[in-house]
Amino acid sequence: LEACGELMRVKEFVDPNLEMTEIVDRFSKNAGPAILFENTGTSFPLLINAFGSRRRICLALGVKDLDDIALEIELLFKTLMKPKDNILEKLRLLPKLSQLASWMPKVRKGRGECQEVVMQHPDITKLPVMTCWPEDGGPFLTLPVINTKDPITGIRNVGMYRMQVFGPVLTGMHWHKHKVSAKHFNEYKKLNKRMPVSVALGGDPVYTYAATAPLPDNVDEYMLAGFLRKKRVELVKCLTNELEVPADADFIIEGYVDPWEDYLLEGPFGDHTGYYSLADYYPKFHITCITHKKEAIYPSTIVGIPPQEDAWLGKATERIFLAPIKMTLVPEIVDMELPIEGVFHNLTIVKIKKEYPGQAQKVTNAMWGAGQMMFNKILVVVDEVVNIQDYQDVARALSTNVDPQQDIFFAQGPMDVLDHSCSKLAFGGKMCIDATRKLEEESRFSLEKVDDGTLRIGIISGSKEEVKQWGDSLKQLISISYPEIVDLNTTWVELGISVVFISVKKNRRNHIRELNDKLFLTTTLNEVKFIIYVEHSVDANDTADVIWRWSNNLDPRRDSYVVAAPDNENISHIGFDGTRKTKEYDDFDREWPNIICMNEATIKTIDEKWSSLNLGPFLPSPSLKHRNQLYKGGAVAID
């Protein structure tokens, strides 16, 4: 990183308790470098934001471009799957099979660099473990590469789950019910045995990525690491359990989880959704040994309101796993995109080569049944002509091709445990938006097609100035007739895109549903297809914030309100309720989390320290933008 001009060294003391987060948040939201905090108040420096740009994630994985990996996987699949007609063709395959074998992990004898130093008395508090956000339950390891094995098959799993520190030899183990390590845990419980767990920190950055990758069950993540690095991962046996860990890791934390022991209350934690994940009960991890390199560097990351470093780990997964999805699951997929504002699982855009009616629904069913894509909440399907990296182009496809009453499909299924909008934990609504051009069998319209073959309906007609006047008169009407509407953004309509953003202060039960009907049926919004509603504290003119809050707060099946067309010559409409849900107004029984912001005291401290830390040109705190959106209370909203 330093050789490539991608590293900043901070030599003065910075407190791992909140201060590091405040500095890193300013840099991560301004395309800043990786940071090495050299004075952490412990014996170890701390590296953070190491993956936090397209260039750095490529450096970490050893490629010039992330798409290079997908192309290589595609070539490998084609080579292995191609029919072999004779013995010569089969013999030509041997070098490729030999190369694959050379990437398999190997256990070597003796100790590794990760075991150069053995703590005489293991104490995880001697590491610079960060407390990231003001309402966090304590300090958390945020980049632990967690190694477990299935007690029946012996097959290894490598995952990444946060670990809250409760004492020198005790942490939580935050694995969700859907994760492979949790399945291993259940198997140990059936056998009435302690579960050995070993945690690697640092080492080759490819280990960190591999631990986050959505591999199928029973596929060794170190095999993926070997493929990416083009050399096998060397493993060594742990000192106090039988697991194997990367020989070149910076730290190894060995221990066990007792399946019959009472769980502990872990959290809250400022999570990648931009909201706190709330306190819940998880297993205890008991530390039996800590080893490290002589010159060990502690790796860390922060997550929170996007964009953060984790967005680039997600971007790597998006590009790397595109080829396997195309080759084995959905061959009509051309490309896919996970917008940063959709925080991975909330929003996915898929580009397909469409050839027959209903193909978007076929793709959706396949995607929702594929591994971690089962957690996807909103799937948008577009044609191959759409530039899915250009969100205006995507929005224009939605505006042009979607008939809300007919082209939006709802389902229910498993959701990410971190999704706070579901009425029931980890189970909620999903939505497919078919934004492909409609074939005759798929359309209810009897309108003439325009020259490009699309049904351009739901677009305000007139010149740009006339459309702007329409928006101004609408805002004037709204301000008089609907005082609960704080802000209305018609900018996208002026661009020829049939969507309006509205900030609204709810004050009664069924407020958004009733408001939606009135706006579509009694105002000039009857010329628009889509309204996205967000809370009154959200700036309706900040598109990124609107999409982030909407995709987090929406249960699509519960919170989408279709207004059907009166006949087959007119458009239909839909409103999406992206506001907070409460018991009083929405019969919502779960606790609602707060958004993540730094406290004023820490912001002030870093403002005052900035020049003395030699951090370069001053960057204001990103939390200043969102502090007015905070709810009363702490991690749990109470107002």
Which tokens belong to 515? Answer: 């408001």
Distance CA 325, CA 436 (A): 20
The predicted model scores a pTM of: 0.94
H-state helical runs in 66-197: 66-81, 87-92, 94-102, 180-191
CA nearest neighbour of 160 among 210, 102, 217: 210
Distances (CA, A) of 393 to 331, 333, 462: 23, 18, 20
End-to-end CA distance of the chain: 45
Q: What is the DSSP letter of 224?
A: H
In Å, the largest CA–CA distance within the chain is: 81
**pLDDT for res 69:** 87
3-state secondary structure of 381: strand
The answer to whether 137 and 269 have CB atoms below 8 angstroms apart is yes
pLDDT along the chain (639 residues), means of 10: 97 98 97 98 98 96 91 70 60 60 90 97 98 98 97 94 97 88 92 96 97 85 92 97 98 96 97 97 97 98 96 92 81 94 93 96 93 92 97 95 96 94 96 95 67 54 85 92 96 93 97 98 94 97 97 98 92 97 97 98 98 97 96 93
7, β-bridge pairs: 34
User: Which of these is catalytic: 136, 271, 335, 434?
Assistant: 271
**Planar angle of CA 212, 215, 216, nearest 5 degrees:** 145
Residue 271 appears among annotated catalytic residues:
yes
CA nearest neighbour of 152 among 184, 194, 175, 107: 184
Distance CA 468, CA 305 (A): 32
**pLDDT for res 371:** 80
3-state secondary structure of 251: strand
3-state secondary structure of 37: strand
Distance CA 563, CA 586 (A): 20
3-state secondary structure of 162: coil
